[in-house]
A and B are shown apart, each in its own frame.
Chain A
């Protein structure tokens, strides 16, 4: 048998948010190299924030990502409030959870229906899938629209919400202003339940892995904005200790940094991590739907992340309804804050996983320095690890199919490369 080296090349990675690059080298049917290359605009934003007023951070960082602006706003706001020693309670806190519900619905539904489902059903993209599955695609679009509606109503503007601010909101709403939304959310909850059932019966490759999952955990709630950072291997720390436990390693092939746990190594953030670490904090309806679908209380197959995302969409609809049922208009839209020399830390659960912000501000409220770690750069090493293990199982496949499988394996993580880069170019090569 002749020895052969092959390098599989694809020009760009389709159906991830943005573009990036993957390079895989295979020699004699053994994987020699896996490189996921991404770049990192948060570095630019960190520099750009220096010297700005602390109140500007939420609006500026919201522009890092078109898909998860709420997450960036929330992490920035909570970090500033942490610096100034305040914590919101009552309806203002609830409205923030509501905004996050909207963002999870938007982001997850986009990924489930438009980006990930075509992989499982064998379509090149959602446009082709829609020709055969019109009703399913329409359901996805309608469901996503409810998420948009929440974010644009509460956030003030659909893509880059501007209503949220350090200390609260610019404007708050009377209970009756949510009446229409409440009715539509009831439809959305049913559609989300259908989504769980639909995704659960998709064909999944066998690919159970042993991961360290990291997510926020709150005493009572499924996590959005608050909690301790925990893992299934014993991590249990306050958010302010993040940088004592996680470190970013420079990787030669990528402008991005690989984030690892100092004590161990790579880790996994996002819907599967939240689900595995917080199952019992999901609403009864979401728990029931998950178990009924056969997902189980734990999920270690990243291909099933599409089902986990669906369960989180169901939870977000359910939670949004709960918030609206008990909502009372807050007495005042925000608390006024006086800056002081301080450092603030925050982690919130962006759709794709924990988003860490740290700011130092001076006595006038000017930002001295900023640190932002997006979820995708935290998952990057785990994605590469998956590919090291996944590719050898499919070496018999023709070029095109193997490439597709690899892209699908990356899409399991819904990598928001736009947070981490502008262009993601996929070079999957066999030489």
Chain B
């Protein structure tokens, strides 16, 4: 199957501890994981996200979330199909963030054909560096799952 390349976007801020999970995950992926894999690191500002995925059919976003689930749990959301759960990305540093970018793209018919979001539940979003152990573990598992999924696509 000759699929179009996958774009994986990691979101977050290095100086907000667990908020860095998405970027840490995207840094651990590489070109060997899938032919034509593209990686990008962004802060999570919504309109920049929309620019980033323009022209891509297959997109995976990885972001830290704060939805009161246990730290280190993660969810894969098929946002191409289902709306983003309300307040799921409430820890985003920006109010026109991931959820808004997805829903605005949907209403403007600009959403990539296949788009998924991995939300990694963070614990500590205070200023500082370094992931919590639970989140570190979750990043590892998310990376493995994404590697497996993009290889089998």
Contact = CB atoms under 8 A, between A and B. Distances in A.
B16 to A, nearest CB: 7
Interface residues of B, number: 30
Contact of B45 (A15, A66, A134): A66
Contacts of B125: 422
Contacts of A418: 93-94
B90 A131 contact: no
Interface of A, secondary structure class, is helix
Interface string A125-140: 1110011001001100
B48 A18 contact: no
A45 B15 contact: yes
A361 B6 CA distance: 45
A115 B47 CA distance: 12
A376 to B, nearest CB: 13
Interface stretch (A76-84, A141-149, A168-176, A316-324): A141-149
Interface residues of A, number: 36
A126 B96 contact: yes
A311 interface: no
B103 A66 contact: no
Interface string B99-128: 010011001100000000000000001111
B94 A17 contact: yes
A114 B93 contact: no
Contacts of A159: 41-43, 45, 48
Contact of B95 (A19, A134, A138): A19
B94 A158 contact: no
A327 interface: no
Given A44-B15, A67-B45, A110-B45, A138 B108 contact: yes
A160 B107 CA distance: 29
Of B45, B50, B52, B90, most buried by chain A (CB within 10 Å of CB) is B45
Interface string A55-68: 00000000110110
B93 A17 contact: yes
B47 A422 contact: no
A304 to B, nearest CB: 22
A141 B95 contact: no
Interface in A1-19: 12, 14-19
A156 interface: no
Contacts of B93: 17-18, 66, 418, 422
A160 B108 CA distance: 28
Nearest to B46: A114
A330 interface: no
Contacts of B15: 41, 44-45, 48, 63-64
Given A126-B104, A127-B107, A159-B43, A148 B48 contact: yes
Interface string B76-98: 00000000000000110111100
Nearest to A159: B43
Contacts of B103: 127
B51 interface: yes
Given A44-B15, A159-B45, A422-B16, A66 B100 contact: no
A110 B107 contact: no
B95 A66 contact: no
Contact of A126 (B42, B48, B100): B100
A372 to B, nearest CB: 13
A41 B127 contact: yes
Contacts of B94: 17-18, 66-67, 418
B56 interface: no
A423 B94 CA distance: 10
Contacts of A148: 47-48, 51
A50 to B, nearest CB: 14
Contacts of A17: 93-95
Contact of A66 (B44, B107, B108, B128): B44
B43 to A, nearest CB: 3
Interface in B1-32: 13-16
